Amino acid sequence: YARRHAVREGNPDFLLLDFFQNAFPDGRFDSAFSIESSEHMADKPAFFREMHRIVRRGGRAAVFAWLAEDRPA
C-alpha cells in the first residue's frame, strides 16, 4: 500500500524487517517513529533501547500506541 501511494520524488523507503535484528548503525536516523507496534513487543525495554540507539543525538523518536479497555478507567 505505502509503495503504491508514494508517488512523489523524495519519499522515504519502506522496509519490512525485524526491528531487533536490523543492521542500522548507531545514530543512523534523524527521527524514528513507531505506530501501534510497541505495545506488542515482548521486550519493551529492548525496544526503547533500540529506538534510542538508531536515532542520532539530538534527534527525535515518537511512539504512538492505541491502548483500550472494555471499560473506561
At 58-73, the pLDDT tens digits run 999 999 988 766 666 5
Contact 28/59 with Cβ under 8 angstroms?
Answer: no
pLDDT at res. 72: 60
Residues 6 or more apart whose Cβ sits within 8 Å of residue 33: 61, 62, 63, 64
Cell numbers 501501534: residue: 36
Cell numbers 513487543: residue: 41
pLDDT at res. 51: 93
pLDDT at res. 14: 73
pLDDT at res. 59: 96
Sites in the chain below the pLDDT cut of 50: none
**What are the residues facing 35 on neighbouring strands?**
64
DSSP 47: H
pTM (2 d.p.)? 0.70
The Cα–Cα gap between 11 and 22 comes to 21
